[in-house]
Amino acid sequence: MSTSVRKIQSFVRRSGRLTEGQMAGLNDFWPDFGIDLPDGLIDFNLLFEKIQPITLEIGFGNGDSLLEMAITTPNKNFLGIEVYEAGIGRLINESKKYKLTNLKIIKSDAVEVLKNHVKDTSFETFQLFFPDPWHKKKHHKRRIVQTDFLDLISKKIVIGGTIHMATDWENYAEHMMETLEKHPHFKNTLNAHIYSPRPKYRPITKFEKRGERLGHKVWDLIFTNEK
């Protein structure tokens, strides 16, 4: 595949006033949980206390689901990549309270991190939960789930590894399904064009519960890397 992934921005950098806890997470506790990007590749074996399978989640928002997964699954390591400072600060602050040793955070553009700082077959699982749907048709090109992005992800997860996406926008769910099914390296864990029930390991966030009360549906897609 070509090493050039499109430069169209798939996220918006949100800013605002940070709470004391968020500031503490970004500043005081960053050395415990944050990863400062090196010039070359990241050596994850040196970053985590234990060498064990790594789950990567990008765009984790306020970090509620990633935090819960790290707490309830101590036999796995978790890496979150996000640009939203309030969410990063909050997640780190909460992780400090729970004294987690299996969670690390990168504050940067996920595509650039994966291209320049992550060696191939680094992750067992890739997660993308409720990414910006860019719901207007003229903005669909900004959606992160595109063939070139899947090309990149397929290299970074192990053969037999899992790619798990979730969205509450039906049109985006259809786009995800179509793009994943057309990709030669990914296979639906269920039959063709069938969405997965929410697995117990994916926590229901406050955002999702609020949507359920409003009658919003959620679509999960779980595929394996078969390259």
Catalytic machinery residues? 132
d(CA 176, CA 119): 25
* Alpha helices (H) in the chain, listed in sequence order: 20-26, 30-33, 44-47, 64-72, 85-97, 110-117, 147-156, 170-182, 206-213
SS3 at position 65: helix
Q: How far is CA 183 from the centre of its chain?
A: 19
Q: Are 173 and 195 in contact (CB under 8 A)?
A: yes
Structure tokens at 151: 């090309």
Contact predicate 131/167, CB 8 Å: yes
CB atoms under 10 Å from CB of 114, counted, come to 21
Do 131 and 138 touch, CB atoms closer than 8 A? Answer: no
